[in-house]
Amino acid sequence: MITLRGGGGVGPTVTALVNPVGAALVALEVGRLAVIQRYSSPGPPMGAGITLAPWPNRVRNGRWIASGRPRQLNITERGRPNAIHGFVRHTVFEQVDEGRSDEVTLETQIGPEPGWEYSVQLCVTYRIVDVGLEVSYRATNDGANIAPFAVGSHPYFTIGAENTNNLIITVPAAVVLDNDEMGIPVGRRPVVGDRDLRGGRRVGDLELGDCYTDLSVSNGRVTCTLATDDGHRLDVWADPAFGYWQLYAPADFPGREGIVRAIAIEPMTAPPDALNSGEGLRWLFPGEEWQVTWGVSVHAAPPAIGSHLPDPIDT
């Protein structure tokens, strides 16, 4: 585990815990306010905090076509015959910089793999900023062929000890994707009723398992929020390149104190099954580099002071 610490001075101390396995975000605290759902298992359950690359979410039956040829990815989703969340979930990323307490860069080589015959270097940088965290991905095609690429993250959020069902979620999206029984989009529709989260809805009143798109951009960012009734607010923000946000709220997340409901807000640059639809895919030419950024900002009321993280989870 890698511990990052920054801030302090006139503001709260910000502390983050990063696992090189999957380049995963394990914990984040601003002052004494924890905003990442911790877990009891030795590895990240339900994709908690992992980097999703070279595609996020699912590929139907693990099959897709490139250059006129069918490709077959390994089937990796439990209970469904899909390939899910790319290749780096269990990859141990290499730490490429040392000496800064508030920033770390991890890198790995992706591919070639069965069904994905390309080579892309991925660097993930976690950086403490103001009252939160910034996460940047830099993908470089170091192979000989143009390579399809998309990226995302799978964090589960919390706000202190607040019950997840009581949190208010706001997502500035006008469109939601309709999924079939495989979790693959088969259409899209304007948000209405319980699927319209633009005005804020209580998590406990919703069934969340959808991908949202057609997102409003303000000040160059897309921003989704979680908030409590007493004024704490968590902003999850991203570059407009993150045009798709998957929401997922399982009731059986293995939290540190037992089973809890958790909520994942997953910024993604492409929707589920993008290798087949082509939607949101970035095709990197040989030697081309692409960088995108998302982050978390915490607005606490009253301001959280001090900082402490539990002992790192063994991996």
Asked if 36 and 54 count as a contact pair (C-beta separation under 8 A), the reply is no
Counting the structural domains of the chain, the total is 1
Residue 272: what are its φ and ψ, rounded to 5°?
-55, 145
State the residue range of the domain holding 89: 2-299
- The one-digit pLDDT tens for each residue of the chain (315 residues) are 999 999 766 778 999 999 999 999 999 999 889 999 999 887 889 999 999 999 999 999 999 999 889 999 999 999 999 999 999 999 999 999 877 899 999 999 999 999 999 999 999 999 999 889 999 999 999 999 999 999 999 999 999 999 999 999 999 999 999 999 999 999 999 999 999 999 999 999 999 999 999 999 999 999 999 999 998 999 999 999 999 999 999 999 999 889 999 999 999 999 999 999 999 999 999 999 999 999 999 987 655 544 444 444 343
d(Cα 263, Cα 282) in Å, to the nearest integer?
28
34-83 confidence digits (pLDDT tens): 999 999 887 889 999 999 999 999 999 999 999 889 999 999 999 999 99
The H or E element that residue 277 is part of is: helix 274-277
Q: Does residue 133 form part of some domain? A: yes
Residue 187 sits in a domain whose CATH number is: 2.70.98.10
Q: How far is CA 241 from CA 50, 89, 140, in A?
A: 19, 22, 16
- Whole-model pTM: value is 0.93
CA contacts within 13 A on the Cβ side of 251? 6
Q: Does residue 32 form part of some domain? A: yes
Could you give the angle at the alpha carbon of 271 between the alpha carbons of 266 and 277, nearest 5°?
Answer: 170
Q: Does residue 310 form part of some domain? A: no
Asked if 229 and 208 count as a contact pair (C-beta separation under 8 A), the reply is no
